[in-house]
Amino acid sequence: MIDSLGRLKQILKKNKLDAALISSISNITYLTNFSGFSKEEREAYLFVAKNSQYILTDRRYSEAVKRLITAFELIEISSKNSVKEILEKLKSKHKIKKIGFEGHNITFLEHKKLLQRFDDSNHRSLESLRIIKSSNEISKIKKACELGDKTLDYILKKIKLGVTEKQIAFEIEFFIKKQGADIAFSPIVAFGKNSAFPHHQTTDQRLTTKDKFVLLDFGVKLNNYCSDMTRTVFFGQPTSEQKKMYETVLEAQKLAIEQLNNETIASQIDKVARDYITSKGYKIIPHNVGHGIGIDVHEAPRLSPKSKNTLKSGMVFTIEPGTYIPNFGGVRTEDVVVLEKSGPRLLTGSPRKLTIL
């Protein structure tokens, strides 16, 4: 089985690159299994050539790197040995002309300096690095999803008259962290009309008998891998229109999942769900129908109207259609799916049937 570093070197060979400069924390974690660097600051780089690989960081991390990242040679960044100087030395040592880098991660100035230093560069070649998950990665995502399922069971018991959106969001985060994990993103909790905003900013609004809609969107991060799930439940008996919205979204999700197979075009899956929802008289979905998930909660592939991704065995992604009516409410159902040779398999296990609290 090819490991993550082997996969990167295959990409170098395929794209005729002499080396790759890895700057994002997500890819550094993927390639080294070390997640101790800050996402807010530029604290490390990986430099991977055909037959050698290096980690560039400062002395704060030197001892941890020596102990935990044995497959990479450490080069310590300091005032006397800057990143610029290190790259110049590596370029000369390995006769690097063409380098791959992460276009979505580096700044304009960093890119400008790269172009000055190397004869050629390619920012698209590394986009597919994490798109196919190993069995070990899938197992980790599954465990994160299982904790997400337990979180939903826990939180449904906390939804009572008068509770605020923020209190429920806090309970979600508290429960996940109590299990030794972390949240993959700030939970979205939306009551009543607030559920009509797909990315609602959770507020101090209290739950009333008039609200009905309770939308919960949250994720778990466990052992560096994420889950993501959305459920819309009802506080009290829903109206016929609210039931129709729920059933429409659920059926759209089922149809999309049924269409999944190897070599399916991602945009077609988006279209299946989108077309079904509009066929029932609702407005077009204002977001993508799905996204890849792994070390990041949003990564490749993307299931959108313009996606060029082809879905293949080993890819893990969400399917999350929704419909939203301003000043009335919204429904979204989201699950994590792994595409296998035999077809799709749900990694989230929570029931999808209409739930009344």
For the 4-122 domain, the top CATH level (class) is alpha beta
The pTM for the full model equals 0.93
4-122 and 135-346 share one fold: no
Domain ranges of the chain: 4-122, 135-346
End-to-end C-alpha distance for the chain, whole angstroms: 47
Report the CATH architecture of 135-346: Alpha-Beta Complex (3.90)
For CA atoms 158, 251, 299, 143, the dihedral sign is positive
How far from 49 is each of 10, 126, 322, CA to CA, in Å?
11, 14, 44
- What's the half-sphere exposure (Cβ side, CA atoms, 13 Å) at 227? 32
Q: What is the pLDDT of residues 228-275, one digit of tens each?
A: 999 999 999 999 999 999 999 999 999 999 999 988 999 999 999 999
Nearest to 322 by CA among 278, 260, 267: 278
How far from 122 is each of 90, 100, 110, 336, CA to CA, in Å?
18, 5, 14, 31
pLDDT at position 2, please? Answer: 67
pLDDT tens by residue, the chain, 357 residues: 568 999 999 999 998 999 999 999 999 999 999 999 988 888 999 999 999 999 999 999 999 999 999 999 999 999 999 998 999 999 999 999 888 888 888 887 777 776 667 765 666 668 789 999 999 999 999 999 999 999 999 999 999 999 999 999 999 999 999 999 999 999 999 999 999 999 999 999 999 999 999 999 999 999 999 999 999 999 999 999 999 999 999 999 999 999 999 889 999 999 999 999 999 999 999 999 999 999 999 999 999 999 999 999 999 999 999 999 999 999 999 999 999 999 999 999 999 999 999
Contact 7, 131 (CB under 8 A): no
Contact 231, 152 (CB under 8 A): yes
